[in-house]
Chain A
């Protein structure tokens, strides 16, 4: 049952993010559901898996965003590392902390990416990337993991 739940959530996040990338304009959604996968793996797994996941998710994000390869790879790797370190010191049963962990880490990660994009491509600092996306992604993460049952299924204890 736990594995089924995890697979369903994984499929939902992957398909959801592909849909968001494809229909970004009509949907007007600014979410990074891949990041939630990375957060879960970083929190639940060890160091190597966290770094590898951050690296992979970052490159996939780079691929989908169509920008320079490695920008999100860099920022997500750092983010995965910090999430892996910090999660052991956070009470994940408290939903507020879950929300803050996702939002703040994503905002931090996006900020690093935006710095790269600012200096390399001349992109301006994007409020959507730095504020809206972290908050909305944090809310989705909270929505998924807020109930006790979900926490139980996802082995968050």
Chain B
């Protein structure tokens, strides 16, 4: 430790001088209302290069650490975010669809007023669940692809050729020919419902990502562009799952009711709105692949 040989008077005078300089600095700052003084600029000019150099170094190191070293879990987080993103897109799709569905239901209430009552006059005895003949034809305005319902408004089939003046053929939904775009109403699991000339129709190869229970309602989806949406088809009676897909058997409602009296409606009276057709294409391919919205119906 150093010992000075300086007189006390000298020490005091120097100390007072330095303190006086400080007081001048303070008073200058106050007089100039905290504007930057020359002295402040000098101190800043001396100190700030060190400060900036240090901060840049710290910034560089922390940048490197953050971008290269601390990225251990980034891929995992990315995967989680991607998954979340997909879920949100799908949720958005469903919400949009719900809004549009509601609009469409409102439209249906207004538009679906014209229909033709018909009686079944012949049933193919060999394949009773394939097709029937009704007593209305072109003279009554019956045309191809009109929709046939039972008296409870449940889906029975559609008009197919041949159509004569006074009669027309109805292909039942249980027929092994063709199919219907439909979905399970409980969780909107959508697919292509096909018949096999028996009392059951089935969804095949639906991805087993959502559970379906017996008794769930199945309704038309409208995505096949033939059958309008929201027509009740039947209910789920059996679900078979394997590793990736599930097969869902559906029992149509019309099986247990009389098909003596039927209602024929024109699907062009309640055309599928453009948004219904557009909705599926709104989804990015990645989502379509993951959620199997269209893959099962096309």
Residues of A with Cβ closer than 8 Å to B?
A: 14-15, 18-19, 22, 43-49, 51, 54-55, 58-60, 62-64, 68-71, 73-74, 77-78, 81, 87-88, 116, 120, 155, 157
In the complex with contacts A18-B51, A51-B15, A70-B24, A88-B1 CB distance below 8 A: yes
Q: Which B residues are in CB contact (< 8 Å) with A155?
A: 1
Assembly CA distance A157 to B18 (angstroms):
30
A31 to B55, CA, bound (A): 19
Number of residue pairs across A and B with beta carbons under 8 Å?
Answer: 87
- A78, B21: Cα distance in complex, Å: 12
Within 1-34 of B, Cβ neighbours of A (below 8 Å) are at 1-4, 6, 11, 14-15, 18-19, 21-26, 28-30, 34
Binding site for A on B (CB under 8 A): 1-4, 6, 11, 14-15, 18-19, 21-26, 28-30, 34, 37, 39-40, 43-44, 47, 50-51, 54-55, 58
Contact A87 B14 (CB under 8 A): no
Assess whether A70 is in contact with B29, with CB atoms less than 8 Å apart.
yes
Q: How far is the CB of A114 from chain B (nearest CB, A)?
A: 14
Shortest distance between the CB of B232 and any CB in chain A (Å): 61
Judge whether A45 and B2 touch: CB under 8 Å. yes
Q: Which residues from A are CB-within-8-Å of B34?
A: 68
Is the Cβ of A120 less than 8 Å from the Cβ of B26?
A: yes
Docked pose: A116 CA to B29 CA in angstroms: 12
The answer on a CB contact under 8 Å between B43 and A63 is: yes
- Within the complex, what minimum Cβ distance (angstroms) separates B293 from chain A? 46
Interface residue from B14, B24, B44 paired with A47 (Cβ < 8 Å): B14
Q: How far is the CB of A147 from chain B (nearest CB, A)?
A: 19
Check if A55 sits within 8 Å of B18, measured CB to CB: yes
Interface contact A48-B14, CB-CB below 8 Å: yes
> B55 near A77 (CB under 8 angstroms)?
no
The interface residues of chain B lying within 8 Å CB-to-CB of A48 are 4, 14
Known: A18-B51, A77-B15. A46 touches B2 (CB 8 A): yes
